[in-house]
Structure 1
Amino acid sequence: MSARRKAGVVAGVVTVGAVAAAVTIFNLPEAESSSGGPSGGNTVANTADIQKETLVDRETHDGTLGHGSTTTLAGRGSGTVTWLPAAGTTISRGKPLYKLDNKPVVLLYGTLPAYRTLRSGVKGTDVKQFEKNLWALGYRGFTVDEKYTAATADAVEDWQDDLGLSETGTVETSQIWYAPTAVRVDSQSSENGAVVQPGAELLKYTGTALVATVDLTMDAQRLAKQGAAVQVGMPDGKDLPGRIVKVGTTVQEGQGDQEDTTLIEVTISFSGAPKGVDDAAVSVDFVASERKDVLTVPVAALLALAEGGYGVQVVDGATTKIVAVETGLFADGKVEITGDGLAAGMKVGMPA
């Protein structure tokens, strides 16, 4: 008796260009018997081997090189802008980010923003963060701790003198700006001669390291795992190891009557990029899942069982039998399977 045809759908993932897609299997043969008993006398024209291998759910997506997302610097003081750094300038600890009334506002390293005036008698983690910077800049004579002492104030006066500021021994929030590391000026938001008030946007900056950025659609969000390893394909053909360091969302505005689209923005750090590749296009290989030393067959070898679930037709010479299987990872046109008595090297029938 010839096998009847039945449509079935199995959810899975394969790589199709750079876009994630569901594996849809049409016209799966319905097995005549799922008891596992032999059904000898059948001739199977096409077979495939059950293999033991590492199955990887991998996808490649296009990305761009740059310096990551921008941070807006809004001034804390009022006055006339007398100096702004040019786009592309790298600013490190102790260097001015801009000048108001010809007085520098200095970059310091830290994650806690300046939120109060620091003076003798003040205590807190913000004091320790500031004192670490002062020490790193070469000013001494105080203990780096959470106490702003007279000794700290003396060191601050020396620092202010070197900057050309009034030697007050206190640190106003309008004199400093904190960032985790050195920054790269992305663009100017004001200009020399502009009269500004507190809160005015003066410039935008990024990190200094070159990173790759990839926008993923929501159906590929399984790929966006913080800390996951990836491979970055450079314009010169070299692949560099990278790691996902940031996962966020961005909104792509729809054209015309189309709705806006929410995308997952993935930032990837890596090292070893050749010079002069800023804003270049790259490819990024993501690995969503990996299953080591599992039994696999081609997805097309799956049979839709009449009682539900899936099986494979095991072929042993002229003898065949249907074995029910549990499916696991789908990738690259193959599927992970487990079932009674199955082993690597066995042959399974393939639909004509």
Structure 2
Amino acid sequence: MQTDHERGAAPAPPPRGRRGRRTVLVTSALAVVAAVAVVGALGLGGGGAQDGSSAPPRSHSTVPVTRATLTERTTVDGQLGYGTEIPLPVKVTGTVTWLPGESSTVKRGGTLLRVDDRPVVLLYGTLPMYRELGLTANTRQDTRQGTRQDAGTEGDARGEAGQGTADQGPTGDASGAPAPSGSPTPGGAGAGRTAGTLRGMDVLQFESNLAALGYTGFTVDEEFTDLTARAVERWQKDLGLPRTGTVGVGDVVYSTGKVRIGHAGVRLGSAVTEDALTYTGTSRKVVVNASAAEDSWAVRGATVTIGLPDGKSVKGEVASVGKKATAPEEGGGEGGSGAPTVPVTITIKDQESVGRLESAPVTVEYVGRERADVLTVPVAALVALAEGGHGLETADGRFVAVKTGLFADGRVEVSGSAVREGMKVRIPE
């Protein structure tokens, strides 16, 4: 890592595109020290204040010692994009008959691809599809027996076995007597529920999606009832599928939100495979390959500044830090140190601030060390003392020894018994 301390007080803008290159914007005093080393060689330096009456005037420019907060900022290279492409967990088998365009966006209810001319649909959720969702054998039998009770639902009145007639009460039998306590009410929340009803969080996740797509007539809960099956049939009809009321393991794929299609791993007419399609999220982000030995800045939630190719800057936030260090490419890359790196992912909340850029090399600036409420002077005010170390020249030509601390933003932290806030010091020529 190269710092401004090592490079001079006015660093040139860092070149872009070098893998692993790190530039620290910390202002340095070394060039200044070398330029004024002759002061110490003439015996004008010392451990404390000295009589400077014989010293020739060095400059008419004086500056005050001020109290401030110094912040060290470091710039590293990053890559703007959509993140690492991930294979879609397609579980259906068959022949690929349609593929989406690369970089296209698919939302909830949209088709990811078609296999045997059947759509594989995107839904939102974190629980993978691991089993078929439908009515169990007991529920199917109960549904057939209860058909006469809810025959009026969706215009399916059949009037079989004397039930469902105009003489039937709202919740009871033909005599109008109320239904026994705890019995399911046709069309109500308990309709079609039996001991064999399919239950689970995956049912709740699927029903939540079905409701979000506008399908109603069932209760969103952890039970797959005959009312859920009827809503599935309406969904299947809209998709152009046979109305089975059952959702197969390969019929849907879950993601946490809408996806951006990456590259296809198969061609039309080929058998579908696990790497048939890759995807990413739809929000642009930055990935930095940070030195594993110097990644203390990469803390989740830390704020950074992203420099775009057009010179604009946008705010970013560290979202994740890889836990596995990767060995560098052979030779360490152009200008690289060859040190192992870890991937740091940075999100950008204001996506509009990035404009239309989808992929580009960028810089990421983060805050390193910080020193609050310290005495500071411009780096150019430092002089080298003959006995070693640094000093400052006062307005009346005396030299005082100082101890230097953090270099940042063109200034340096100074301390010493003879240094006080507001004291005037000269800028050497």
TM-score normalised by the chain length of structure 1: 0.74
Which residue in the other structure is 1:171 paired with? 247
Counterparts of 1:57 and 1:345 in 2: how far apart (Å)?
24
> Do structure 1's residue 102 and structure 2's residue 117 form an aligned pair?
yes
More moved, 158-167 vs 11-20: 11-20
Specify the code of the residue in structure 2 equivalent to 1:336: E
Give aligned-pair identity as a percent: 38
Given the alignment, which residue of 91, 94, 101 partners 1:86? 101
Q: Deviations over 1:102-128 (max 9, x none)?
A: 111111112232233334534443333
| Structure showing the higher strand proportion among its residues | 1
> Do structure 1's residue 278 and structure 2's residue 293 form an aligned pair?
no
More moved, 270-279 vs 125-134: 270-279
Bigger Rg, which one: 2
Which residue in the other structure is 1:152 paired with? 228
Which residue in the other structure is 2:315 paired with? 241
More moved, 238-247 vs 177-186: 238-247
TM-score normalised by the chain length of structure 2: 0.63
**Could you tell me whether the CA contact under 8 Å between 2:309 and 2:361 is conserved in 1?**
yes
Counterparts of 1:113 and 1:51 in 2: how far apart (Å)?
60
Which residue in the other structure is 2:213 paired with? 137
Specify the code of the residue in structure 2 equivalent to 1:194: S
More moved, 172-181 vs 253-262: 253-262
**Could you tell me whether the CA contact under 8 Å between 2:90 and 2:253 is conserved in 1?**
no
Counterparts of 1:215 and 1:83 in 2: how far apart (Å)?
36
**Could you tell me whether the CA contact under 8 Å between 1:246 and 1:268 is conserved in 2?**
no
Counterparts of 2:420 and 2:131 in 1: how far apart (Å)?
69
CA displacement at 1:187 relative to structure 2? 0.6
Which residue in the other structure is 2:343 paired with? 264
CA displacement at 1:177 relative to structure 2? 1.0
More moved, 331-340 vs 126-135: 331-340
Unaligned runs of 5+ in 1: 1-9
Give matches, 1:203-242, under 5 Å: 203-218=277-292, 220-242=294-316
Give matches, 1:1-352, under 5 Å: 17-18=13-14, 19-20=22-23, 33=47, 38-40=49-51, 45=58, 49-119=64-134, 121-196=197-272, 200-218=274-292, 220-248=294-322, 252-254=328-330, 261-269=340-348, 270-273=350-353, 276-298=356-378, 301=382, 315=394, 317=396, 321-322=400-401, 327=405, 329-337=406-414, 342-347=419-424
CA displacement at 1:94 relative to structure 2? 0.5
Counterparts of 1:66 and 1:11 in 2: how far apart (Å)?
29
Counterparts of 2:264 and 2:92 in 1: how far apart (Å)?
17
Which residue in the other structure is 2:164 paired with? none
Q: Deviations over 1:125-182 (max 9, x none)?
A: 3333222211111111223333333433332232223223343433333111111111
- Paired positions, count: 334
Counterparts of 2:111 and 2:249 in 1: how far apart (Å)?
14
Unaligned runs of 5+ in 2: 15-21, 136-196
